[in-house]
């Protein structure tokens, strides 16, 4: 049987996977860490406020319909509330999944692919959600059928 | 009568530990049978790891290290492991015993479940060289990077550098590190990413960052603000549980995080 060559101990050879990549200075990781904590605190308030207003106040869950959402988004207060919730939740979740990918993806290619998919999904959802919050019109001009009852006939 | 005989016949100092009557009373120590299941690896023979069982009769006062000695001296001389002082100070014999990182010399067999085989394997995350011996070089590379030595910009004093008791207490916990790598090799982040500095390096940075006599705290904080630095810690507390010296490792890491934040935000 062929004996494999084995380096002498302490030959100074270290598997390259242990060598830290230089560069990448800056505070991104610190800012991301801080953002997770701060956005988490704000999200607790936003989400429970959202749940309380939608499910408990007035008729509670029975009041939720198209008109209820349309009414909420007619007010700039709820527009800002929902916008904040959307952005913070999406960025908080994305950063969480990013750290999980960094922790558990062992190959660089896997890590890159997963993160690309993640970032594309995030951007699409944030852009789409923001667009809906600001351009939502319950009574679009030109529509004839299926208009909610509160729309004045045009 | 030679002096040696005098020492032997002199009464031993009283033990400070209370033992039950059946232990050690008549000089007999209870024995029991254990199975030690050791994860063997020998690259000269095979690239595969093999679990090997050893049936041993051990004493109630024996540690896992004694069982390993018994194997090496009486059963299989090819078993390889590190140990130097054998008294929990040198940090050579950290290994994974029953799935937890511990020092073999500080783990009593009677404290483990002796009905089932006791598994002993090398610590995880570092390249295994043979049996229970791993290459510690990546671990020490991170340790060296945080500059574990006093850096003082002032003139060298003619006497010792004075420090108040409070200033000394600030970093007392992290001075206890013996560099056994039990913490770093218990960290799940380190298992998948060997570039992470790891708890041990951060603990030893903490020891100097919070030392009032040291002037290079800022440099060390900058090093640990790296992508692979303290922000990779997920506070799973594996390191704190693994530390044979009882260092509050996760707390030390959090204190370094806060120091970086309070310096930069």
Q: What DSSP character marks residue B10? A: S
pLDDT per residue as tens digits for the range A86-97: 999 999 999 999
* CA-closest candidate to residue B252, choices B194, B220, B206, B193: B206
Which of A4, A9, A30 comes nearest B225 by C-beta?
A: A30
- Cβ–Cβ < 8 Å for B249, B203: yes
* Average pLDDT for chain A: 86
Strands (E), chain B: 31-40, 50-59, 94-97, 100-103, 118-121, 128-130, 133-134
Inside any domain, residue A69: yes
Inside any domain, residue A7: no
Q: Which residue of B has its CA nearest to A13?
A: B137
pLDDT per residue as tens digits for the range B63-73: 999 999 999 99
pLDDT cut 90: percent of chain B above it:
82
Inside any domain, residue A112: yes
pLDDT at residue number B1: 42
pLDDT at residue number B104: 97
Inside any domain, residue A119: yes
More confident residue, A115 or B11: A115
More confident residue, A7 or B238: B238
Number of domains in chain A: 1
pLDDT at residue number A64: 84
Across A26-46, average pLDDT: 94
Inside any domain, residue A134: yes
Q: Which residue of A has its CA nearest to B134?
A: A9
Q: Which domain holds residue A127?
A: 26-148
- Cβ–Cβ < 8 Å for A6, B43: yes
pLDDT at residue number B3: 47
Name residue B39's beta-bridge partners.
B51
8 Å CB contact of A103 and B189 = yes
pLDDT at residue number A154: 47
Across B43-59, average pLDDT: 94
Whether residue B229 lies within 8 A of chain A, CB to CB, comes out as yes
Give contacts of B189 with chain A, Cβ < 8 Å: 103
Inside any domain, residue A19: no
pLDDT per residue as tens digits for the range B202-256: 999 999 999 999 999 999 999 999 888 999 999 999 999 999 999 999 999 999 9
- Cβ–Cβ < 8 Å for B204, B148: yes
Inside any domain, residue A17: no
Q: Which residues of B24-45 are buried (b: 16+ CB within 10 A; e: fewer)?
A: eeeeeeeeeebebebbbbeeee
Inside any domain, residue A103: yes
Q: Which residue of B has its CA nearest to A36?
A: B231
CATH assignment of the domain containing A97? 1.20.1300.10
Confidence class of residue A5 from pLDDT cuts 50, 70 and 90? confident
Whether residue B48 lies within 8 A of chain A, CB to CB, comes out as no
Which of B43, B141, B232 comes nearest A18 by C-beta?
A: B141
Which of B129, B141, B227 comes nearest A29 by C-beta?
A: B227
Structure-token match 């005098």, residue found:
B6
């Amino acid at each position: 049987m062929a004996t494999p060559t084995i380096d002498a101990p302490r030959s100074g050879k270290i598997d390259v996977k242990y060598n830290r990549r230089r560069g990448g200075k800056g505070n991104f990781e610190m800012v991301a860490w801080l953002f997770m904590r701060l956005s988490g605190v704000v999200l607790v308030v936003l989400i429970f406020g959202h749940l309380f207003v939608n499910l408990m106040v007035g008729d509670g869950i029975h009041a939720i319909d198209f008109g209820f959402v349309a009414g909420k988004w007619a007010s700039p207060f709820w527009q800002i509330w929902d916008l904040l919730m959307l952005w913070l939740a999406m960025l908080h979740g994305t950063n969480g999944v990013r750290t999980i990918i960094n922790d558990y993806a062992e190959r660089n290619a896997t890590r890159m692919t997963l993160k690309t998919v993640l970032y594309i999904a995030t951007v699409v959802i944030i852009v789409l959600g923001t667009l809906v919050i600001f351009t939502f019109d319950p009574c679009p001009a030109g529509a004839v059928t299926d208009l909610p009852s509160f729309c004045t006939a045009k | 009568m030679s002096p040696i005989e005098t020492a032997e016949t002199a009464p031993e100092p009283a033990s400070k530990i209370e033992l039950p009557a059946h232990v050690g009373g008549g000089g007999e120590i209870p024995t029991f049978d254990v199975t030690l299941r050791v994860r063997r690896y020998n690259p000269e023979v095979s690239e595969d790891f093999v679990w090997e069982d050893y049936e041993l009769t051990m004493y109630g006062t024996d540690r896992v290290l004694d069982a390993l000695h018994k194997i090496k001296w009486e059963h299989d001389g090819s078993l390889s492991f590190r140990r130097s002082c054998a008294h929990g100070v040198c940090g050579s014999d950290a290994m994974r015993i029953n799935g937890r990182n511990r020092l073999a010399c500080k783990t009593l067999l009677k404290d483990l479940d002796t009905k089932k085989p006791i598994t002993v394997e090398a610590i995880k995350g570092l390249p295994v060289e043979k049996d229970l011996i791993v290459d510690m070089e990546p671990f020490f590379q991170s340790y060296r990077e945080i500059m574990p030595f006093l850096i003082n910009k002032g003139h060298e004093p003619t006497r010792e550098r004075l420090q108040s008791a409070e200033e000394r207490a600030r970093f007392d916990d992290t001075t206890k590190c013996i560099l056994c790598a039990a913490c770093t090799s218990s960290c799940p982040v380190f298992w998948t990413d060997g570039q992470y500095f790891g708890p041990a390096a951060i603990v030893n940075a903490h020891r100097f960052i919070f030392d009032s006599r040291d002037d290079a705290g800022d440099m060390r904080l900058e090093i640990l603000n790296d992508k692979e630095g303290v922000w990779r810690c997920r506070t799973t507390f594996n390191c704190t549980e693994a530390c044979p010296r009882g260092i509050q490792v996760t707390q030390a890491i959090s204190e370094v995080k806060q120091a970086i934040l309070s310096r930069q935000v």
